[in-house]
Amino acid sequence: MSVPEGRARTLVPEAAAIVARGGIALGTTRLVAMVETAAAFFRIAEIARAHPRLCGLTLGAEDFATSAGIMAEPEALTMPKQMAVFAARAAGIMPLALSARSPSFTTSTYSGRRSAARAGSGLSARRSSIRARCRS
């Protein structure tokens, strides 16, 4: 789910209510929030804590970069991705696809991909109880 500007407080609970109206019990269907705008980014901690059905958070890097008026390059996206990791971890949910570098931003060589993977490993989600929350 993408969280449009100004809808952080309402969109996740609305989506959860739709799922609940369908008769799906809490704990059987989880939601993942994707922050894609500069305005929503400044509410990322609030978004991460928006509802008990939320189990993951990610930053839509390309759309976020466009909204922020920056290039979608690793150097420009490192801090926003780190903030998404911190917000998700503080809320007890899983940060998803938030490696610092993406192979699409690096050279197509083996060494370029390998260095991108190493650079992003510090931001990747570790095996923990957070993963269990997304499975329950």
Torsion angle (degrees, nearest 10) of CA 48, 133, 125, 95: -20
pLDDT of residue 77: 94
pLDDT of residue 114: 52
Domain extents in the chain: 2-135
The model carries a pTM of 0.67
Amino acid identity for residue 42 in this structure = F
Token pair in block for residue 34 = 């994707």
pLDDT of residue 87: 96
Reference 81, options 104, 65, 103, 105; nearest CA is: 65
pLDDT of residue 119: 52
Per-residue pLDDT of the chain (136 residues; tens, 9 = 90+): 555 555 656 777 787 788 888 888 777 778 888 999 999 999 999 999 988 888 999 999 999 999 999 999 999 999 999 999 999 999 999 999 776 444 444 444 445 545 555 555 455 445 455 555 665 5
- 16 in the Ramachandran plot: left (φ > 0), alpha (ψ -120 to 50) or beta? alpha
Contact between residue 48 and residue 93 where contact means Cβ atoms under 8 Å apart: yes
pLDDT of residue 71: 94
Q: How does pLDDT run across 94-118, given as a tens digit for each residue?
A: 999 776 444 444 444 445 545 555 5
Contact between residue 57 and residue 21 where contact means Cβ atoms under 8 Å apart: no
